[in-house]
Chain A
Amino acid sequence: MRTLITPLATLRDRGRAMSVPQKLATAAAGAAAAALGATALEVRRRVADSDASPGSGIDLVRSVVARMTTPLLPDDYLHMINPLWSARELRGKVVEVRPETHDAATLVITPGWGFQASYQPGQYVGIGVSLDGKWHWRSYSISSAPDRAARGRGTITITVKAMPEGFMSEHLVRGLAPGTIVRLALPQGDFVLPDPPPAKLLFWTGGSGITPVMSMLRTLHRRGTMPDVVHIHAAPNRGQAIFRDERVALAGTHPTLRLVENFDDEHGILDVSKLEAACPDWRDRQTWVCGPAPMLEAAERHWESAGLGQALHLERFSAALTASAEGGHVVFAKSGREADLDGATTILEAGEAAGITMPFGCRMGICHTCVIPLKKGMVKDLRNGAEYQENQGVQTCVTAAAGDCVLEI
Chain B
Amino acid sequence: MTVMQKKAENPVAHLSARDIEDLGLELDAIRAQVIASRGEHDAAYIRRVIDAQRKLDLASRAVLLFSLFPPAWALGTAGLSVAKILENMEIGHNIMHGQWDWMRDPKIHSTTWEWDNASPADMWKHSHNELHHTYTNVIGKDNDLGYGIMRVDEDQRWMPFYLGQPLWNFINACLFEYGIAAYDLEIAKNWAGRKDNAEFQRQRKAVLGKIRKQMTKDYLVHPLLSGPSALTTLGANLTANLVRNLWTHSVIMCGHFPEGVQTFAKKSIEGETRGEWYLRQMLGSANISGGKLTHLMTGNLSFQIEHHLYPDLPSNRYAEIAPKVQELFERYGLTYVTGSLPRQVGSAWKKVIRLSLPNGFLANLKSARRPVRVAAPAADASGAGRPFMERIAA
Contacts and interface: CB of A to CB of B under 8 A. Distances in A.
A48 interface: no
B288 to A, nearest CB: 28
Contact of B221 (A4, A67, A72, A132): A67
B213 A71 contact: yes
A35 to B, nearest CB: 5
Nearest to B121: A71
Given A68-B225, A132-B40, A135-B103, A356 B214 contact: no
Contacts of B202: none
A67 B217 contact: yes
Interface in B209-259: 213-214, 216-217, 220-222, 224-225, 227
By DSSP majority rule, is chain B's interface helix, strand, loop, or mixed?
helix
Contacts of B101: 355
A355 B110 contact: yes
B98 interface: yes
B38 A39 contact: no
Contacts of B38: 133
A32 B225 contact: yes
Contacts of B39: 132-134
A71 B112 contact: no
A76 B55 CA distance: 11
Contacts of B107: 88-89
A82 interface: no
Given A36-B221, A67-B221, A70-B213, A133 B103 contact: yes
Nearest to A4: B106
Interface string B35-67: 000111111100000010011001000000000
A225 interface: no
B207 to A, nearest CB: 14
Contacts of B116: 71
B104 A355 contact: yes
A101 interface: no
A36 B216 CA distance: 11
Contacts of B213: 67, 70-71
Interface string A131-158: 0111110000000000000000000000
A3 interface: yes
Given A77-B58, A133-B38, A68 B102 contact: no
B280 interface: no
B106 A89 contact: yes
A135 B40 contact: no
Interface string A1-20: 00110000000000000000
A356 B110 CA distance: 9
A332 B111 CA distance: 13
**Residue among A70, A76, A135 with max Cβ neighbours from chain B (10 Å):** A70
Interface string B268-283: 0000000000000000
Contact of A133 (B41, B106, B217): B41
Contact of A71 (B102, B105, B115, B225): B115
A365 B221 CA distance: 48
Contacts of A71: 114-116, 213-214
B225 A357 contact: no
A392 interface: no
Given A67-B221, A70-B217, A134 B109 contact: no
A80 B213 CA distance: 23
A384 interface: no
B306 to A, nearest CB: 20
Contacts of B43: 130, 133-134
A357 B55 contact: no
B308 to A, nearest CB: 19
A133 B40 contact: yes
Contact of B54 (A4, A67, A76): A76
B46 to A, nearest CB: 9
A335 interface: yes
Contacts of A36: 221, 224-225
Contact of B106 (A76, A130, A357): A357
Contacts of A68: 217, 221-222, 225
**Residue among B101, B104, B214 with max Cβ neighbours from chain A (10 Å):** B104
A375 to B, nearest CB: 18
A48 B204 CA distance: 27
A133 B224 contact: no
Interface of B: 38-44, 51, 54-55, 58, 98, 101-107, 109-112, 114-116, 130, 213-214, 216-217, 220-222, 224-225, 227
7 contacts: A39-B216, A69-B217, A71-B114, A71-B214, A77-B54, A89-B107, A133-B103
Given A36-B221, A355-B98, 16 more contacts: A32-B225, A35-B224, A35-B225, A67-B216, A67-B221, A70-B213, A71-B114, A130-B40, A133-B42, A133-B103, A134-B39, A134-B43, A135-B104, A355-B102, A357-B109, A357-B111
Interface of A: 3-4, 32, 35-36, 39, 67-72, 76-77, 80, 88-89, 130, 132-136, 335-336, 352, 355-357
Which 8 residue pairs are nearest across A and B when measured between Cβ atoms? A355-B101, A133-B43, A71-B114, A135-B104, A133-B40, A132-B39, A3-B106, A133-B39
